[in-house]
Amino acid sequence: MKTMRIKTLLPWRPASQQGLSLIELLVALVISVILSLVVYQVFDIAQRTSRLQAAIAQLQDSGRFALQTMAQDLRQTDFNGSCDTLSTKFHLESESGLKTGLASLMGWESADDSGFANTLANPVADSPLVTFSGVASTYTPTSPGGVSIESANSASQLKLSSSVSKQFQNRILLLEAGESCEVFFNNASQPDRLAKTRKNNAFTRNQSPGSSPWGVQAGNELVAISALDKGVYYLGFDPVNNLPSIMYLDISRESPSNQVVANHVAAMRILYLESGQYRPAASVTDWVSVTALRISLLMQSEESVRSAREAETLASEFGIGNFRGLSGAAAEDFTQIFSDNPQRLYQVFTTTVKLRNR
């Protein structure tokens, strides 16, 4: 009889384990650091690219909007309908720094030279400004049911055959009636009246009605009425955010008001086409003969998006276009812009505006 041996099954015991060596730990640490740096650099580049694209979009939107707004107004300078400037009766008093009549386009190299300094909102020193007069809206009779003058008070008031829109109240108007044209500030409160009483406003005040009677007469002839814009574009500081901005002084209303057109405008330059040559305002000899303007704006990004190295060559990059050839105080001011904010993004926008009514 054989004896059977029964083997006892013991629990399995793993082979003895050893920890990582110091060299292995260092290699793993170095790899982790390298990967972390790569990930951070990729993230940093993506973030900077996103900020740069946002800054470029902001610059382009602001620059194009500012130029488009200015061009739309300035293009209508000297609008006078079918009127002959020489035969038009101009009932407004001579305004501060402005010529009387419909040929109202003038520019200055500084607000201090313009006569508007006390009315502008924080104008930038040694920055140009331009004033203009142009059409805002027109009522033109197109049918027998249009508007005519029922009665004319030689001193101050005209009664119309029907009411006109409120947009013609408290505005500078151009009234065309047959061969007679009148320019005056309409301060009538009734929609079927036109009145030019004298009120105390330095920019839009009518002459004394007694010394400036109407040239139009009552009759069945239809009239055309145009509301004229009269304003000043200049570079100033936004009163709310204290940012350099394109500003607009509206002097076609009873109470002049300063409005912000576009923020982050670091510099502006305006040249005027006279006798086939573009000139700064100080060199223009006859404003009536100016037929076009060239406007350049240096736009500035809201945030710093350039590295310090990129900012080193910034000042030399933008001695271009309408800003080329600056000298004296203008050149110093232009260079100072980059010194104050070297890591901002800058872009120059330029447009040429033809004065179609010249």
What's the rounded Cα separation, in Å, for the pair 83 and 130? 24
What's the rounded Cα separation, in Å, for the pair 316 and 88? 51
Buried b (16+ CB within 10 A) or exposed e, 199-218: eebebbbbbebeebebbbeb
Helix ranges (DSSP H) in the chain: 22-74, 308-312, 314-317, 328-340
What's the rounded Cα separation, in Å, for the pair 304 and 47? 13
3-state secondary structure of 338: helix
Going by the DSSP 8-state scheme, the letter that residue 119 receives in this structure is T
What's the rounded Cα separation, in Å, for the pair 80 and 228? 9
Per-residue pLDDT reduced to its tens digit, 248-265: 998 887 778 899 999 999
- pLDDT on residue 217: 84
With cut-offs at 50, 70 and 90, classify the pLDDT of residue 51: confident
* Residue 351, pLDDT above cutoff 90: yes
- pLDDT on residue 251: 84
What's the rounded Cα separation, in Å, for the pair 245 and 230? 20
This prediction's pTM:
0.77
Mean pLDDT value of segment 87-116: 71
- pLDDT on residue 234: 95
Nearest to residue 110, comparing CAs of 282, 299, 295? 282
Tokens of 24: 């292995």
With cut-offs at 50, 70 and 90, classify the pLDDT of residue 197: confident
230 within 8 A of 105, measured Cβ to Cβ:
no
The proportion of the chain whose per-residue pLDDT surpasses 70, expressed as a percent, equals 79
Give residue for tokens 């249009």. 146
Neighbours of 287 (CB within 10 A): 15
3-state secondary structure of 159: strand
70 compared with 136, residue with greater pLDDT: 70
Per-residue pLDDT reduced to its tens digit, 285-329: 988 889 999 999 988 888 777 666 665 555 555 555 567 666 666
Contacts of 211 (CB under 8 A, 6+ apart): none
Nearest to residue 148, comparing CAs of 158, 156, 138? 158
Nearest to residue 260, comparing CAs of 290, 236, 295, 280? 236
Question: SS3 letters for 183-204?
Answer: EEEECCCCCCEEECCCCCCCCC
260 compared with 55, residue with greater pLDDT: 260
With cut-offs at 50, 70 and 90, classify the pLDDT of residue 222: confident
With cut-offs at 50, 70 and 90, classify the pLDDT of residue 96: very low
With cut-offs at 50, 70 and 90, classify the pLDDT of residue 102: very low
Give residue for tokens 């500081």. 237
What's the rounded Cα separation, in Å, for the pair 84 and 64? 35
175 within 8 A of 216, measured Cβ to Cβ:
yes
Residue type, 269: R
Per-residue pLDDT reduced to its tens digit, 127-153: 899 988 888 778 776 656 688 899 888
Q: Which of the residue ranges 11-15, 188-192, 230-234, 300-304 would you say has the lowest mean pLDDT? A: 11-15
Mean pLDDT value of segment 98-115: 71
β-pair partners for 304:
344
3-state secondary structure of 311: helix
